[in-house]
Amino acid sequence: MSLKNRMMLALGCSALLGGAACTQDFDQADFVHDEGQPWCDELEAGNGSTDCALLLGEDHLIFFEYAATARGTRLMVNLNTLEGQEVQSFGPIAIEGAMTSPALRDINHDDRDELFIPLMTGDVNTLWSVWQQDDEGLFHRAGELSGFGVDAFEIRDGLVISQARGDAATSYETASRLTADGLGTVYELLVDHAARDCRLLDQSGMAAMRLTAAAVVAACEARDWE
């Protein structure tokens, strides 16, 4: 039985389902609780800007509520305890054609999940607003990352490596570092898959990480090009 199911049974379903009987299988992707939101991490791709919820740890839920306005889609985020007490609310956040749903992932190995909110999706890449938790478990905006998806971000030597498509022959590799002050760019590379070479476009954070241009480019070009 999944953690979601165990939690629902432990609570007697009363807090989350308004007293409804525990007869549903909460592991099903099409499960919808009385709030009207399915689980974000079980929605199919292409269902962006759909109201949904995420389980944070073992004792909190995050609700995402989208609304169409004259200025476009706006998102409100609410962090609640399982008993329904509101801990934090933030927004509205402008959403421009996002094709995927919010997600959680710990990208700096501090045992606290970061929150990824998709802002917009292009042909391949999605722009994510990244929010990190403080010591009290409240979320604060850390910055933005662009890439193919949250699971596609590589964690390498304390850096978050994101890949974004350029054109048919090129891509961009960006290394970022997440600190208490937020996300900061360490370097950005233009990767030419036809020429099989890499070129630094931004190296503003490399000195602080004791990285050299030659080493970064050499590591990039040592990849498997096939």
Look up the CATH number of the domain holding residue 45: 2.40.128
Does 36 have pLDDT greater than 90? no
- Domain with 174, as residue range(s), is 153-226
pLDDT band at 4 (very low <50, low <70, confident <90, very high): low
Are 48 and 87 part of one and the same domain? yes
What's the mean per-residue pLDDT of the chain?
A: 85
Characterise 56 by phi-psi region: left (phi > 0), alpha (psi -120 to 50), beta (else).
beta
Q: What percent of the chain lies above the pLDDT cut of 90?
A: 63
Whole-model pTM above 0.85?
Answer: no
Are 166 and 123 part of one and the same domain? no
pLDDT mean over 25-39 = 54
Q: How many residues comprise the chain?
A: 226
pLDDT mean over 5-32 = 43
Does 96 have pLDDT greater than 80? yes
Does 42 have pLDDT greater than 50? yes
Mode of pairing for the β-strands spanning 139-147 and 197-202 = unpaired
pLDDT mean over 26-55 = 72
CA distances from 21 to 6, 39, 52, 58 (A): 15, 19, 21, 21
163 in a domain, yes or no?
yes
Query: What gap in Å lies between CA 83 and CA 172, rounded to an integer?
Result: 44
pLDDT mean over 166-188 = 94
Structure token pair of residue 206:
């490399």
Are 224 and 179 part of one and the same domain? yes
Does 48 have pLDDT greater than 70? yes
The beta strands (E) that lie in the chain are given as 52-56, 60-69, 72-81, 86-95, 103-105, 114-121, 126-133, 139-147, 154-156, 159-165, 170-179, 182-192, 197-202
Structure token pair of residue 196:
């099989």
Of 112, 143, 174, which closes a domain? 143
- Give Rg (Cα) of the chain: 20
CB neighbours of 23 closer than 8 A, spacing ≥ 6?
none
pLDDT mean over 61-89 = 93
If one counts the domains in the chain, the total is 2
pLDDT mean over 51-67 = 94
Of 117, 143, 169, which closes a domain? 143
State the pLDDT at residue 21.
Answer: 39
Residue whose pair of structure tokens reads 């909460």 in the numeric block: 26
Are 183 and 118 part of one and the same domain? no
pLDDT band at 205 (very low <50, low <70, confident <90, very high): very high
Could you report the per-residue pLDDT of 103-116, keeping only the tens digit for each? 999 999 899 999 99
Does 5 have pLDDT greater than 80? no
Burial of 34 (0-12, 13-18, 19+ CB in 10 A): exposed
